[in-house]
Amino acid sequence: MSVRPNSAPKSLLQDRSVPCCSCSLKDTSSTKPFCTLHKSWLQLQESIIEKDHQINSLCDQVSRLQVYKGESNRKDKLIVSLREEITELNKSMQDKKIRIVTVEDE
């Protein structure tokens, strides 16, 4: 399974040098809780990471299913070809009135 690195959100979390409000992101030594804006931002980041993992998983499943689809199409063509061959052989046998002798008949 191919997983893309998710380093961007972590690096953004660690960069506290850009003040944007009065919450603890502004001061690295502060123990104040995050403001509502930053809580929402963190939740969005977690959601994006989760969705990214889901997309990667779905891409892997699509790739796996494409292999099965190709194999199924190949087998469908083979079945059609074999059915046509059976029809031709039956017609040929009827035209020539060939009687198949089985082991039991002998």
Q: Are 6 and 52 in contact (CB under 8 A)?
A: yes
Q: Are 2 and 53 in contact (CB under 8 A)?
A: no
Q: How far apart are CA 66 and CA 60, in angstroms?
A: 10
Angle at the Cα of 31 from the Cα atoms of 23 and 12, rounded to 5 degrees? 55
Structural tokens at position 93: 């046998």
Q: Is the CA virtual torsion 78, 81, 87, 92 positive or negative?
A: negative
pLDDT digits (tens, 9 = 90+) for 5-60: 544 455 544 555 555 566 655 555 555 666 888 888 889 999 999 999 999 999 99
pTM assigned to the model: 0.46
